[in-house]
Amino acid sequence: MALHGGNVKHKRRERIDRGIKVRSDDIFALTSYREFLYVSVPPVAPVILLLALPLILPLYWQKVLITTSVFAILALSWDFLVTVGMVSLGQALFFGIGAYLAGYLDIRFALPIWTTIPLATLVGGLLSAILLLPVLRLRGVYFSMVTLVLPLMFERTIEATGWFGGTEGLTGLKSFPNIWIECYLIVIALLLVFFGLRRLVTTDYGLVLTAIKNNDRAVMSGGINIYWMKAQALFITGSIGAFCGAFMTHVYSFVGMPVFALDYSILPLASAVVGGMGTFAGSLLGAFILVPLSEALRGIGGLRTVIYAVSLVVFIVAIPEGIFHYVQRKYQQFERWAEVEN
């Protein structure tokens, strides 16, 4: 720096953990209500809010809450798959498989809702995992390519063959007794998936899954069969997606080709990217920002997908950390300008 002459002071931004974070990091150090609240408000407040929302919202927004929760769950499952190193461009695949399974079980065997949804969840997860087995041996973009292709393939197949009602879809399916059950079922499912996945990735099992993303060869040399692990991760994601599909089938009492639409692939992806990948909380936050926003902007119709796509690009290029990581940083750390020693 001497080249420029003089004493040019260079500064860099320094981030330091807040005192309250340092003190409350360890649960034994909690000594005041302030510290207790600092730790407990971020996880507890959203839970209370989510459980209270169905009670205070009007009917229309209850419906929006249901869609938002479904997209949030899909975003969580997308985020989980990314944690294992697989980037899906087609969550609609899992969603659609579940939706059609539930519809088919209902029409063909006249099973009650409480059987079709669990069955569709499990069988859907299994089917998704089997379908994607060929891609597991490849790294890089192959997984994205194939997941992009598969939902389209299902859509075309159903259109071409007329199976499962063809272009008409399956109508007159059983629906839930009332909207309260719908609301609370999906909200509780959302909380279960959210906390379940967060817990899962911190267990030993989750550690192995994360390691596959970071260095698959190292995991293999540890004597672990990574294809089997990846297949299990796919089953988990597939089941979660299939559950959403099966649930929506019974909410609409209808299932048709739109369940494989791009919306169900791009919105979860956009939610996770906008909210921030890797923490699950980000995906949740992203979905609860994007979906109600798009509902409020319903008037613009087809422009919605454009907005999702653009926000996706802007975030991935300019703010790759996402909203959640930014907020988290502000909550836990403060910043100051520090002089750099030459």
Partner 1 sequence: MLEVTIIYGFINSIILALIALGFSLTFGISGVSNFAYGAMYIMAGYAVWIMINLIGLPFPVAAILAVIFTALFGLALYRLVLLRVRGMVISEVIATFGVGLAILELFRYLGFTGFEYTLPVFTDGSLMIGDTYIDHQRLWIVGIGISLALGLYLFTRYTKTGLAFRGIAQDEQTALSLGINSDRVAGLSVAFGSGLAAIAAILILPRGTISVNEGYDVLINAMAVCIIGGLGSTVGVIVASFMIGYAQMITDAFSGPHWKMIVSLVAILIILLVKPSGLFGKQKELEERI
Interaction of residue 310 with partner 1, rule CB under 8 A: yes
| 3-state SS class at 85 | coil
The one-letter code for the residue type at 317 is V
Cβ proximity to partner 1, 57 vs 148, nearer residue: 148
- From residue 210 to residue 249, what is the string marking binding to partner 1 with x (rule CB under 8 A)? ------xx--x-----x-----------------------
Name residues contacting partner 1, limited to 248-277 (CB under 8 A): 262, 266, 269, 273
Binding range to partner 1, per CB under 8 A, among 98-106, 146-154, 191-199, 328-336: 146-154
- 211: Cβ contacts below 8 Å, ≥ 6 apart: 218, 219
| 3-state SS class at 13 | strand
> In the complex, what is the shortest distance from the CB of residue 85 to partner 1, in angstroms, rounded to a whole number?
9
Cβ contact 125:269 at 8 Å: no
The torsion of the CA quartet 155, 303, 182, 288, rounded to 10 degrees, works out to 120
Count CB-CB contacts under 10 A for residue 39. Answer: 17
Name residues contacting partner 1, limited to 153-172 (CB under 8 A): 153, 156-157, 159-161
Cβ proximity to partner 1, 29 vs 138, nearer residue: 138
Interaction of residue 55 with partner 1, rule CB under 8 A: no
Q: Among 73, 75, 76, 150, which residue sits at the site for partner 1 (rule: CB under 8 A)? A: 150
> In the complex, what is the shortest distance from the CB of residue 298 to partner 1, in angstroms, rounded to a whole number?
14
**Residues that contact partner 1, how many (by CB under 8 A):** 46
> In the complex, what is the shortest distance from the CB of residue 137 to partner 1, in angstroms, rounded to a whole number?
6
- From residue 106 to residue 145, what is the string marking binding to partner 1 with x (rule CB under 8 A)? ----------------------------xx-xxxxxx-xx
Spacing of C-alpha 339 from chain mean position: 41
Tokens representing 211 are 């390691």
Cβ proximity to partner 1, 266 vs 281, nearer residue: 266
Interaction of residue 313 with partner 1, rule CB under 8 A: yes
- 47: Cβ contacts below 8 Å, ≥ 6 apart: 191
Angle at 176 between CA 175 and CA 181, to 5 degrees: 160
Interaction of residue 293 with partner 1, rule CB under 8 A: no
3-state secondary structure string across 141-163: CHHHHHHHHHHHHHHHHHHHHCH
Interaction of residue 87 with partner 1, rule CB under 8 A: yes
Binding range to partner 1, per CB under 8 A, among 47-55, 196-204, 283-291, 297-305: 297-305
Binding range to partner 1, per CB under 8 A, among 41-49, 94-102, 278-286, 314-322: 314-322
Handedness of CA 31, 33, 37, 38 (dihedral sign): negative
- 278: Cβ contacts below 8 Å, ≥ 6 apart: 79, 82, 83
Tokens representing 163 are 């199976």
Count CB-CB contacts under 10 A for residue 296. Answer: 9
| 3-state SS class at 14 | strand
> In the complex, what is the shortest distance from the CB of residue 29 to partner 1, in angstroms, rounded to a whole number?
38
Separation CA 55–CA 179 (nearest Å): 11
Q: Which residues bind partner 1 (CB under 8 A)?
A: 82, 87, 89, 134-135, 137-142, 144-146, 148-150, 152-153, 156-157, 159-161, 216-217, 220, 226, 262, 266, 269, 273, 301-303, 305-306, 308-310, 312-313, 316-318, 320
